[in-house]
Structure 1
Amino acid sequence: MDEIDIEIERLRMLPDSCAVVLPTQFSKINYHRPRSTDDFRFCIIDENEYEEVLNIGRLAIGHVLLPITAFIPGLKMTYCNKCWKLGHTQHQCKVGPCCRLCLDQWDYNHKCLKSVLCAQCEGPHASLSMECPVVVNYRRTLKEEVDNKGGTCNFGKLDYPALNLKQTNKPRLAWVDGQTAPSDLQKFQGTDQLGELVTQVKMVLDSTRRMELKLDNQVMQMDLLGKKSCMNKQAIFVLANIMQQMINASLEKKN
């Protein structure tokens, strides 16, 4: 217009209608076997938003509706990384570090030459193996505690056993012995790894942009072909008129 170049940019993105406002603690779920899709775990702070998203069953990421379900964490045992016994953590342990296999005192020069010994039942298997009847009973009791707990989802921080706990009158849980105070059920912990999800979204957006550019180029080529066809038609009409005039002139000369 008026010899001024104007670049018209069409709107390519609209705000998502099923987006989450306050997601935190993104982390990718890694599986032992390859899968056709990637699963991500994250926390939603707002309880109303959490219930609404679960009721919808879909989450919009880059204008693509993806399925969403509640994450149910597996049962995790509380055990010590020093003595390899159940019921407490290494911060509460009063024993020095032990070898995971033979349970001897461990140091940097330790070489395990003895047979495998269980810290729970002193059997010939690993301390956390499912071959141990103590571990099997522990996990069974833990599952019963979780199934009987019920209630709604709590969005508080993860509650690990504290270093200095006082005895309370709460009922004894499966993963706490008589010398330590009970703790709440361990909840899932996520880390802020939003980069992987952002990368996936950028890849989807880049692919859509490339498709739009290809479509724009095809539309421009179709317009050029239409203009060329119109010019060819006009040229054919002009040639036809010239040929008609030449034929009429030759016929008049003969007559």
Structure 2
Amino acid sequence: LKLGVNNKVDYATLATTDKWPLKINEIDIEIIKPKYTPDAFTLVVRYVPQELDEKFVENEIQCTIASASRIKRIQYNYHRKLNDYRFEVKDYQEYCSILKLGRIAIGYSWLSITPFYPGNRLTYCTKCWCIGHLRNNCNSLPKCRICLETFIENTSHVFHKEPRCAQCDGNHQSLDAQCKVIQDYKQRLKDEVDEAIKSGKLQRVVPKEQAPTFELN
């Protein structure tokens, strides 16, 4: 039995509660909660001065937001004078509070906080590792993510062979960025998204412009 939700409130409730039954219809059950935090609970602190050490920024964020984790500086493909940091907030109340405030103190600066908006994502199957469809629409037998050998039931799979790509049959993993098929797919996806935005079918969310930085004396 797998439970799904379509909003952050329900997800946070199910992920944090311990009020689960031990049996359903007299059958013993085991509750397995997700081990990761969805992007919907990820925030970004923007315009952090470059002279601030990454460990210092991490400590400052965790001092204000106790449930903050996986704090990382966002890597951009172009030069920036200021840094952005993304981080996950597991506690829904903390997530809402800091997002409503919209600011966080880092050192002597009062900096903006915004939601994290992930980029375009590949559609791929975790059964056969081909792009363009999902696992529930795949008729293939489950395969190894690396070598594409078919899993044998009740047998442990030990990877010994070279990587093999499900897209081009090359000697790299199926979702490797060096794969020409993956590169072409990403470019088509970007072009389609750009066209949808241009036609008005989609709207791009643009982060707030940099607000003045307030110095705390």
TM-score band w.r.t. shorter chain: 0.3 to 0.5
Q: TM-score, normalised on structure 1? A: 0.37
Task: Identify the structure with the greater helix proportion.
Answer: 1
Query: Higher Cα Rg: structure 1 or 2?
Result: 1
